[in-house]
Amino acid sequence: MPSDHRAFKDALYTQFARIGHAVSSPKRLELLDLLGQGEKTVEQLAEQTATAVKNTSAHLRALRQARLVETRRDGTYVWYRLADDAVAAFLLALQALGRHRYAEVREVAESYLERRDSFEPIPPEELRRRLNAGDVTLIDVRPGDEFAAGHIPGALSVPVVELAERLREFPKRREIVAYCRGRYCVLAITAIELLRQRGYRARRLIESIPAWRARGYPVAHNATRSGSVLIETVPARAPRHRGGRHS
């Protein structure tokens, strides 16, 4: 092979390897997964990944250097978000590949998730049909800021920490479907366990908002602080909130 071809190949795959290096940390993959829900500050991400703020900042810098995340400033505050839809698609593909190639992924999921929920998750197509028919109650059990950043149209925002106090809002004659951050999120499982204990028929949707959007299904988001809602099929950035000073 001519030397100029070799130089071309080396330079090309060196650039591709930047992505592999950036996502070689389990914490960075988790950070990308969380940012798929909407913009977040360093403090929010540190709390949700049980990682020190200093270490979280270092991981975010690596992801930013690889151009997988972007930032915006709001005064002295810095917010992180995924760079674009391609990053969310990459993460979904990586997770799917892991499930396909590694028995360990399936074993970990089964040992923690499936043993807590033996019911078949509701398929996205069935959920859309039943939402249109009005015979199911859909609840989004993620934190309220993630719901505002993007949610399934027709879903009610019921953060899992509030669920026990809000059960009277839901008629027992109608099945409840809960969803959170995707296949490996435990918030929805916690919710359906509580619902079933209280006599409700409940199932979970394992689809995340990025995966729902990737199907071309509509996503709603809160457009203003007044609570108005827009529905669109393209990603929406989270509303502006006060956040952390770390970069």
Instruction: Give the three-state DSSP class for 138.
Output: strand
Which residue matches tokens 């399936």?
106
Distance CA 126, CA 119 (A): 15
Distance CA 247, CA 233 (A): 30
Q: Which of 82, 36, 91 is CA-nearest to residue 63?
A: 82
Q: Which of 179, 230, 138 is CA-nearest to residue 37?
A: 179
Distance CA 60, CA 69 (A): 8
Q: In 71-95, which positions are buried (b, 16+ CB within 10 angstroms) versus exposed (e)?
A: eeeeeebbbbbbbeeebbeebbeeb
Q: Which of 180, 188, 205, 236 is catalytic?
A: 180
Distance CA 38, CA 150 (A): 7
Amino acid letter at 124?
A: P
* H helix count then E strand count, the chain: 10, 8
Q: Is 185 a catalytic residue?
A: no
Active site residues: 180
